[in-house]
């Protein structure tokens, strides 16, 4: 099957053919007046997408299961587990382990605890001490990598337990489920604010038989964008395939497409490049059935796909930690009398076709649909992407912002497997978008996730103005934003000024679409400024590109931030 694609765009006195199935060419023409976009789709080119597992340096503490971990900056931290209270730092660049201060308040081992990071600190909570269920914990400890020191924080407000799950959204941790000292299952759910060292009780988990208390143990969890996800696990001692999405703004759970594998608990979960991954685990204590399969979840399509099998031995209670570009899975157990696993495995998504490092350039970072009559007009435009990869796979696309519903992505995205003539190292491709007279300006941003690339996202601002929204147009023309300095070392100051009374907020996203900073929502009077400092250093963020979304009243702004040290 062959994909044919022709993208024409206007330049004064010149019509350029950006890409075609065969060689490219340039035509000089007089008095060109219109833009033409022509798509001819015969079929999709075959592209191989592979998931890759690689063995790394074995766990330094020996075989174990039920460990906890977290990432801070470009380092991973991993420790505890069955028979283990030691704690280590892992450097992905060198694949070397460094011993750090032991897990605190632990006699011999801290297993089935939860671990997470907020800013430049890591946290460990709950778990079982010494392999004895009666010795479950309800404490919370903060780890400072700069001082290699653990500090006691506010205790977990629910019953002491192990087997809980956790995730972090917008600088807050969320913890729920688990089993107490009497093996009682719990379905309560809490948030932790590190800035104030306080816990807040939230609504219960959505799992559990009717007329019974909600409960969950050994669920897999991951985060995509501003939502947390809870998948699989054991509910009332029965394994499940359920997947739920949590919205911290509304404190509400929404049921999503079920996990496609066998129902299980003690699976591993993580997220990469806009997708969630769940795999491994066991069917039940009695079945002696453990798994090696992995599945990926696409939140845009609410759909699961087979992500291939784990490269090591099938197992349950393996623990995962992730960076921006890869996930690591360590330890685990295959039940009965088998020994615990010592392996430490790296997972990333790669395209099987490219054989050399590549890059992507978004050639049209701003798409302006102009002024349209609301309810009548619609128009289309194309984003052009330049890439050195011979095959580019678009993983998913998201449109965000107050006016996101005014834009839609055309279904016939085209992927070109051939470079342009005269540009042997680059590959343009076009993606079409429709706009139905957006009611405001600068209020939507398109983010494209590319599968198989380390630097895997690109964003474009989508603009449009409605003739019937003159008040909003005036507001957007007089509202303003400044970001200084940019590029920046350590921190930068963001200032937005509103033309009219309204609510203002700022959020900064990393290249995976995760919120790394949020100013919260504040009322701003006309002419007043909302000032916020984005301190990337104190948040222990890696250097690189970040995206700012700022809203004030009916105006919004998108800026690219460059953090360099």
The yes-or-no verdict on residue 452 having pLDDT over 60 is no
pLDDT of 487 over the 70 cut = yes
Which of 105-119, 274-288, 393-407, 414-428 has the least mean pLDDT? 414-428
Q: Which CATH number, 1.10.10.920, 3.40.50.300, 3.30.70.2860, 2.60.40.10, labels domain 354-478?
A: 2.60.40.10
Task: List the one residue out of 197, 194, 193 whose CA is nearest residue 120.
Answer: 194
Determine which of 61-75, 83-97, 203-217 has the lowest per-residue pLDDT on average: 203-217
State the Cα–Cα distance between residues 278 and 497, nearest whole angstrom: 44
Q: What pLDDT sits at residue 94?
A: 92
Query: What is the Cα–Cα distance from 551 to 531, expressed in whole angstroms?
Result: 12
> What's the pLDDT at 231?
97
Instruction: Give the tens place of pLDDT for each residue, 345-361.
Output: 999 764 333 333 455 56
Instruction: Note whether 17 and 24 are within 8 A (CB).
Output: yes
User: Is a pLDDT exceeding 90 seen at residue 172?
Assistant: yes
- Domain 354-478 in the same topology as domain 50-351: no
**Does 362 have pLDDT greater than 80?**
no
Confidence band for 71, pLDDT divided at 50, 70 and 90: very high
pLDDT average, residue stretch 534-560: 81
Say how far apart CA 428 and CA 416 lie, in whole Å.
Answer: 8
Residues in contact with 558: Cβ distance below 8 Å, sequence separation at least 6, in sequence order:
442, 445, 459, 461, 547, 548, 549, 550
Is 519 in contact with 506 (CB distance < 8 Å)? yes
State which CATH number among 3.20.20.70, 2.60.40.10, 1.10.10.10, 2.60.120.1030 fits the domain covering 479-565. 2.60.40.10
pLDDT for the residue 509 = 79
Confidence of residue 524 (pLDDT cuts 50, 70, 90): confident
Whether residue 545 contacts residue 560, with contact meaning beta carbons closer than 8 Å, is answered with yes
Question: Which pTM value belongs to this model?
Answer: 0.59
Task: Assign 511 a pLDDT band (cuts: 50, 70, 90).
Answer: low
Rounded Cα distance, 383 and 75, in Å: 36
Query: What are the residue boundaries of the structural domains of the chain, listed by start?
Result: 50-351, 354-478, 479-565
First to last CA, the chain: 47
User: Phi and psi for 466 in degrees, rounded to 5?
Assistant: -90, 140
pLDDT band at 40 (very low <50, low <70, confident <90, very high): very low
Angle at 288 between CA 286 and CA 294, to 5 degrees: 125
Give the CATH number of domain 50-351; options: 2.120.10.80, 2.160.20.60, 3.40.50.300, 1.20.140.10.
2.120.10.80
At a CB cut-off of 8 Å and minimum separation 6, what does 401 contact?
443, 444, 445, 549, 556
Q: What is the pLDDT of residues 263-312, one digit of tens each?
A: 999 999 999 878 899 999 999 877 789 999 999 998 888 999 988 889 88
Task: Confirm if 156 and 190 have CB atoms less than 8 A apart.
Answer: yes
Task: Report the distance separating Cα 270 and Cα 261, nearest Å.
Answer: 16
Query: Which of 481, 494, 475 lies closest to 535 in space, CA to CA?
Result: 494
- For residue 530, the cross-strand partners are 496
Residue 401 is predicted with a pLDDT of: 66
Find, among 250, 330, 317, the residue nearest to 90 by Cα. Answer: 330
pLDDT at 193: 95
Our measurement of the distance from residue 53's CA atom to the centroid of its chain's CA atoms, rounded to an integer in Å, reads: 20
Strands 198-201 and 220-224: unpaired
Higher pLDDT residue, 402 or 15? 402
């Amino acid at each position: 099957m062959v994909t044919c694609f022709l993208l024409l765009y206007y330049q004064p006195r010149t019509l350029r053919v950006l890409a075609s199935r065969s060689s490219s060419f340039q035509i000089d023409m007089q008095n060109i007046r219109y833009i033409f976009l022509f798509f001819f789709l015969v079929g999709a080119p075959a592209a191989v997408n592979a998931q890759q597992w690689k063995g790394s340096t074995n766990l330094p503490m020996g075989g174990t299961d039920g460990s906890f971990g977290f990432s801070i900056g470009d380092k991973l931290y991993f420790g505890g587990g069955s028979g283990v209270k030691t704690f280590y730092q892992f450097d992905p660049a060198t694949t070397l382990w460094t011993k750090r201060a032991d897990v605190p308040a632990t006699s011999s081992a801290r297993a089935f605890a939860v671990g997470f990071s907020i800013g430049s600190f890591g946290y460990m909570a709950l778990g079982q001490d010494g392999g004895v269920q009666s010795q479950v914990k309800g404490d919370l400890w903060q780890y400072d990598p700069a001082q290699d020191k653990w500090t006691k924080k506010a205790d977990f407000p629910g019953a002491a337990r192990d087997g809980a799950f956790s995730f972090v959204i917008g600088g807050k941790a969320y913890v729920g489920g688990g089993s107490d000292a009497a093996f009682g299952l719990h379905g309560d759910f809490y948030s932790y604010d590190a800035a104030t060292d306080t816990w807040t009780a939230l609504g219960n988990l959505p799992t559990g038989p009717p007329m019974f208390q909600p409960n969950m143990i050994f669920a897999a969890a991951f985060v995509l964008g501003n939502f947390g996800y809870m998948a699989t696990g054991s509910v009332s001692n029965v394994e499940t395939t359920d997947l739920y999405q949590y919205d911290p703004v509304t404190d509400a759970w929404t049921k999503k497409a079920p996990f496609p594998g066998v129902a299980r608990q003690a699976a591993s979960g993580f997220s990469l490049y806009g997708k969630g991954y769940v795999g491994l685990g066991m069917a039940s204590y009695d079945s002696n059935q453990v798994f090696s399969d992995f599945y990926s979840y696409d939140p845009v399509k609410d759909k699961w796909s087979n992500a291939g099998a784990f490269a090591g031995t099938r197992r349950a209670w393996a623990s995962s930690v992730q960076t921006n570009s890869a996930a690591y899975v360590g330890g685990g157990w295959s039940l009965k009398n088998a020994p615990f696993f010592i392996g430490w495995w790296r997972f990333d998504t790669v395209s099987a076709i490219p054989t050399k490092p590549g890059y992507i350039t978004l050639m049209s970072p701003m798409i302006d649909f102009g002024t349209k009559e609301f309810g009548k007009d619609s128009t289309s435009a194309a984003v052009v992407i330049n890439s050195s990869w011979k095959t580019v796979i678009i993983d998913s696309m998201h449109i965000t912002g107050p006016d996101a519903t005014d834009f839609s992505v055309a279904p016939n995205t085209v992927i070109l497997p051939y470079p342009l003539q005269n540009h042997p190292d680059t590959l343009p491709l076009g993606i079409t978008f429709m706009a139905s007279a957006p009611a405001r300006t600068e209020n939507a941003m398109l983010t494209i996730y590319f599968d198989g690339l380390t630097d895997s996202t690109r964003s474009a601002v989508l603009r449009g103005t409605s003739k019937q929204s003159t008040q909003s147009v005036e507001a957007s023309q007089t509202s303003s934003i400044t970001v200084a300095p940019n590029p920046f070392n350590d921190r930068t100051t963001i200032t937005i000024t509103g033309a009219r009374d309204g609510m203002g907020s700022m959020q900064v996203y990393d290249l995976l679409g995760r919120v790394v900073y949020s100013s919260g929502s504040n009322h701003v009077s006309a002419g007043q400024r909302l000032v916020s400092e984005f301190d990337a250093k104190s948040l222990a963020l890696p250097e690189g590109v970040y995206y700012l979304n700022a809203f004030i009243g009916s105006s919004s702004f998108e800026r690219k931030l460059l953090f360099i040290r």
